[in-house]
Chain A
Amino acid sequence: MAIAAPGQLNVNESPIWGSRSVDCFEKLEQIGEGTYGQVYMAKEIKTGEIVALKKIRMDNEREGFPITAIREIKILKKLHHENVIKLKEIVTSQGPEKDEQGKPDGNKYKGGIYMVFEYMDHDLTGLADRPGMRFTVPQIKCYMRQLLTGLHYCHVNQVLHRDIKGSNLLIDNEGNLKLADFGLARSFSNDQNANLTNRVITLWYRPPELLLGTTKYGPAVDMWSVGCIFAELLQGKPIFPGKDEPEQLNKIYELCGAPNEVNWPGVSKIPYYNKFMPTRPMKRRLRDVFRHFDHHALELLEKMLTLDPSQRITAKDALDAEYFWTDPLPCDPKSLPKYESSHEFQTKKKRQQQRQNEEMAKRQKMQHPQPHTRLPPIQQPGQHAQMRSGPNQPIHGSQPQVSAGPTHHYGKPRGPSGGPGRYPPNGNPGGGYSHPNRAGQGGSGYGSGPYPPQGRGAPYGSNSMPGGGPRGSGASGYVGAPNYPQQGGPYGGSAAGRGSNMMGGNRNQQQYGWQQ
């Protein structure tokens, strides 16, 4: 037989040794959505195993398979740890597909490509947002220890996650926590010669060195995010809910003090240091603001939220902190109660809530706080309580469980627990986004966000604290106006800094959509 003709490709055969077809799985329900792609709960037809399918978005077909997806696949194929989400395989679909509106999606090259992950019942944000949910101290220690263990493994293997937040921390019904969504992850070298993008990590969890514009950084950026998560678990709400970069930095300075050459040698050489000089002297107030925290927890939090990345604690050292080795000890993951499935994105009702919240946000555009009429008395003014409409409907394949809090407490509970309801997109809609940012953004740990592909989502910074605690939060620093989005930003000129992998294109449309 002659060799293939020029341009001939074998596109019809499905060899057993290549990638399997997505038809091996039956999609059960969509559990995530966003600018990155849809995430589905699915069942493998042959084995009945429940998995999560994350569709790889092919927005920029001009450059073929996205380089961000290539990075994610390479990294996930190298990482094998009980606290890191497992990429089981990658499957493809043969023909053109239809998106949820029934239109053929823009991808005209032989259908979709999906990453197959092990299924996890919850993400930390969805779990924390459950009505009446209160984490016990041993539970928080258990989650934090697993988070740090998984992150240390990543750092030892020279991987930066660069998008640690509650919705990217998945938890199964065995109490196991796993790091997920490596869409912004990056291999790094120890020589610190590489210039990396500083437009990564969701705004509320972004460290000061990135906000100031450094491009040489390492594992410390992830540890700042962990510190924010830690404080959020202890406090019951996000501690730095900024709506744009300047406000984000200002919130950090208010709590952690302003950086200078004494507490952060070399900070004055970071590009935007002078640009964001605070208008008044700011002292570090973290210990005062969180003085009600457990002593060891406060000690550890101090080291995580150190301004100077070179002095910030590492994941390995954090695991040795007294916090994890004093009573009450971290609980066994299996002893945690079973919860009904809780993903931040879940049902149509949540969408309706989003629309209602959006309308409320418009009405309050003048930034006049209007406390919700059903606000519990112990809550702070300006907080918005969202009452959820009962438990989620049972999920096929998972055991229905009666929603219940922990069966007993260890030690004295401290403050209400709970989490933020929504995350903002990074930076400003009108500002200069770097597109790798958006590639990995999302509310679900599998990589999808709470916002629909077009239009504005729920207002930023809304919190859900229906249960309340026996003692109110002493965070006087949070008294003030609620956070509303603002148009425009100071980075209009930095649009020229886009990466050369040309991941723009459709993403620009997504970006501009936010302005509508």
Chain B
Amino acid sequence: MTGLMPGELPHHGTPDGNSGKSSQDKQEESLGRWYMSRKEIEEHSPSRKDGIDLKKETYLRKSYCTFLQDLGMRLKVPQVTIATAIIFCHRFFLRQSHAKNDRRTIATVCMFLAGKVEETPRPLKDVILVSYEIIHKKDPAAAQRIKQKEVYEQQKELILLGERVVLATLGFDLNVQHPYKPLVEAIKKFNVAKNALAQVAWNFVNDGLRTSLCLQFKPHHIAAGAIFLAAKFLKVKLPSDGEKVWWQEFDVTPRQLEEVSNQMLELYEQNRLPPAQGSEVEGSAGGTRAASKAPSANEEQASKQISSQAPQHSSVERTAVPQRGTENQSNDGSAEMGSDITDHNLDIRESHNSEQLTHQDNKREVSNRSKSGTERDQDRIVGTKEGAEVGRRDESALNNSGSNVGRNLERREVPLGHSPNEAIKIDKDKLKALAAMGKKRKEQRGEMALKKDVMDEDDLIERELEDGIELAVEDEKNKRERRQNWSKPDGEDHHGGENHEETRDGRYMNMKVQFQKDMDEDNAEEGEMIDDASSSLNNRKRRMGSPPGRQPEMKKHLDSSYHNDLAE
């Protein structure tokens, strides 16, 4: 587990202390230009200046993150490479506008570049083919079109030109560090539920990549937040050595820990507030369980019928039912389920965005309204935070005290072994964590929201129910198409003839496999074996020892090399 990214981190143990400090200072200097406050990111991004509002940019960010995760898994690169590509993309759009740069082209370039940076290079041809198929997954002819020489050459020129743009925009800052290494190193010191804790925290880190956290906080801060949330999720008590608390080893302040945790949690709250989405998620999450599928369908139909009659009270009542189902599912599931839920929702929007132009406009309109609800809720939360004056802080403190009292009453059996300040802060986080994944909190919050804005929410709910149903149908089609596309280019794809549930399971397994790979030092090193020149003997050995997934790539490389020799 040690040395997850070998050689990637600088060591400052030079005999000359001054030299070491100087080196560290310069490192900080270089890294410093890629960190800024959330306010700056949200209010002064280049896209904002070009008229793209915050909610659309947030959507676009999730869109290219989902794209990169999909692209990376199909190219069979380790998670670290995907993470590097995502960070390159975040940094690019920190400096350049979505109005002037196609996010999928930039994302493809970032994956191509990250492959080389992380010593897991993929041939440009493969990157182009797989990217093109993902971008045009609704188009059955795309898989064939990209193989025409003119189309391919055009894409190639685009990507190579894009690489120059990305490199220049990033200032050739190619050294990227990730939370994975500090996360693994820290958890090794714990004696509690290591594997489960690492797995859940890892998933929080992966999901957090979709946010702008990595533009605000350093990797070890994000690692600390992920461990904190994972412990809450698993109800594990993290060790404290006397007066020293576990997070102090991360050189992280309580404020940073709180901020990172809250922003990670926002990701899940956003995805669960719309009831229609909840129903959709429940249906998909059910997988092969027909029993859970049927009730979901019935509920949707019932809700629709009742909504058409437009009785307010009935709508409110019906809205609660899917939420409860969703929360039940969440209670049973794990963070992995959380990851999948997030992926699924983003897939819907992805397919939505792939529509033709006419539909695109309409869909975007619907999407904007859909996000509008989420955004309004966000504004409410943000307003509460940012608008806090001295008096409001006192009120907030009182509220916290009230919550604290309530929670103590509810969970008398769970002792809180923290100092008063920590109790307040951590309880607040517990509230948010439970709000994201807990049954009761979700209900209460939902009810309060609905009570406050019954008129607006009612209209939104109706639209989202219809929209959800439509998106569900489209999603079904898209998954079939994707399966077909997937099976065509690579004859060795074993998922070709299987249904979409198993495809989803396959992706799930990929995530786990990648987790194992990234955790396993030997596997991390394996990427270097492919691109290092060596004698034929060693080459043969490596080929025999390569995991099955890498055989085709090795073959391609050798064939390509042989072809080049002939050409020369």
Contact = CB atoms under 8 A, between A and B. Distances in A.
B498 to A, nearest CB: 31
B536 interface: yes
A353 interface: no
A15 B15 CA distance: 40
26 contacts: A3-B98, A3-B102, A4-B97, A4-B99, A9-B101, A9-B161, A10-B96, A10-B100, A11-B161, A19-B172, A65-B113, A79-B10, A80-B22, A80-B27, A109-B157, A152-B15, A157-B11, A194-B529, A196-B532, A198-B534, A496-B558, A497-B533, A499-B532, A501-B121, A504-B568, A508-B565
B535 interface: yes
A158 B7 CA distance: 6
Contacts of B98: 3-4
B163 interface: yes
Interface of A: 1-11, 13, 15, 17-19, 61-65, 67, 70, 73-74, 77-82, 90, 92, 109-110, 113, 152-153, 156-159, 186-191, 193-199, 213, 215, 271, 316, 434-436, 493-502, 504-505, 508-509, 512
Interface string B50-63: 11100010001000
A504 B167 contact: no
A508 B564 contact: yes
Given A17-B171, A188-B6, A215 B99 contact: no
B158 interface: yes
B123 A502 contact: yes
B522 A8 contact: no
Contacts of B557: 500, 502
Interface in B391-417: none
Contacts of A494: 535-536
B276 to A, nearest CB: 25
Given A9-B165, A77-B172, A81-B14, 16 more contacts: A18-B169, A64-B116, A73-B172, A74-B175, A80-B23, A82-B19, A157-B14, A189-B7, A193-B525, A194-B528, A195-B542, A215-B532, A502-B560, A505-B564, A508-B565, A512-B568
Interface of B: 3, 6-8, 10-15, 19, 22-23, 26-27, 30, 33, 50-52, 56, 60, 95-106, 112-113, 116-117, 121, 123-124, 135, 157-165, 167-175, 521-522, 525, 528-539, 542, 553-554, 557-558, 560-561, 564-565, 568
Contacts of A70: 116-117, 174
Contacts of B7: 158-159, 186-189
A10 B103 CA distance: 11
B538 A74 contact: no
Contacts of A191: 3, 6, 521, 525
B101 A189 contact: no
Given A64-B159, A78-B175, A189-B3, A4 B101 contact: yes
A110 B161 contact: yes
A151 B114 CA distance: 28
A368 B473 CA distance: 85
A8 B109 CA distance: 13
A2 B51 CA distance: 8
Contacts of A11: 161, 164-165
A196 to B, nearest CB: 6
B350 to A, nearest CB: 14
A61 B530 CA distance: 20
Contact of B172 (A10, A90, A215): A90
Contacts of A159: 7
**Residue among B8, B12, B33, B538 with the most chain A CB within 10 A?**
B538
Contacts of A90: 171-172
B34 to A, nearest CB: 10
Nearest to B125: A62
Nearest to B169: A18
Contacts of B170: 18
A216 to B, nearest CB: 10
Contacts of A215: 532, 534-535, 538
A32 B232 CA distance: 60
A265 B317 CA distance: 80
Given A1-B52, A63-B123, A9 B102 contact: yes
B15 A77 contact: no
Contacts of B3: 189-191
Contacts of A435: 533
A189 to B, nearest CB: 3
Q: Which 6 A-B pairs have the closest CB atoms?
A: A187-B7, A189-B6, A434-B533, A499-B533, A1-B51, A10-B100
Contacts of A73: 172, 174
Nearest to A10: B100
A187 B10 CA distance: 10
Given A187-B6, A194-B525, A508-B564, A500 B531 contact: yes
Contacts of A501: 116, 121, 531
Contacts of A504: 561, 564-565, 568
A73 B173 CA distance: 8
A487 B33 CA distance: 53
A116 to B, nearest CB: 11
A4 B103 CA distance: 8
B536 A493 contact: yes
Interface-central residue, B6, B7, B103, by most chain A CB under 10 Å: B7
Contacts of B106: 9
Nearest to B60: A3
Given A17-B33, A92-B168, A78 B10 contact: yes
Nearest to B541: A195
A188 B27 CA distance: 19
Contacts of B531: 67, 499-501
Contacts of B168: 18-19, 92
Contact of A1 (B11, B23, B50, B529): B50
A82 B117 CA distance: 26
A193 B522 contact: yes
A504 B530 CA distance: 15
A496 B161 contact: no
A158 B116 contact: no
A113 B96 CA distance: 20
B528 A195 contact: yes
A156 B14 contact: yes
Contacts of A80: 19, 22-23, 26-27
Contacts of B533: 197, 199, 434-436, 497-499
Contacts of B561: 496, 498, 502, 504
A271 B537 contact: yes
B174 A500 contact: no
Contacts of B159: 64
Contacts of A186: 7
B10 A195 contact: no
Nearest to B158: A7
Contacts of A61: 160
Given A17-B171, A19-B168, A109-B164, A6 B554 contact: no
Contacts of A505: 564
A224 to B, nearest CB: 20
A35 to B, nearest CB: 16
A434 B535 CA distance: 9
Most chain B beta-carbon neighbours within 10 Å: one of A3, A19, A495, A499: A3
B190 to A, nearest CB: 23
B95 A18 contact: yes
A190 B23 CA distance: 21
Given A9-B102, A189-B6, A198-B534, A81 B568 contact: no
A381 B539 CA distance: 45
A513 to B, nearest CB: 11
Contacts of A196: 528, 532
Contacts of B539: 496-497
Contacts of B529: 194-195
B322 to A, nearest CB: 32
Given A188-B6, A500-B531, A65 B175 contact: no
Given A17-B171, A80-B26, A504-B561, A194 B163 contact: no
Nearest to A8: B102
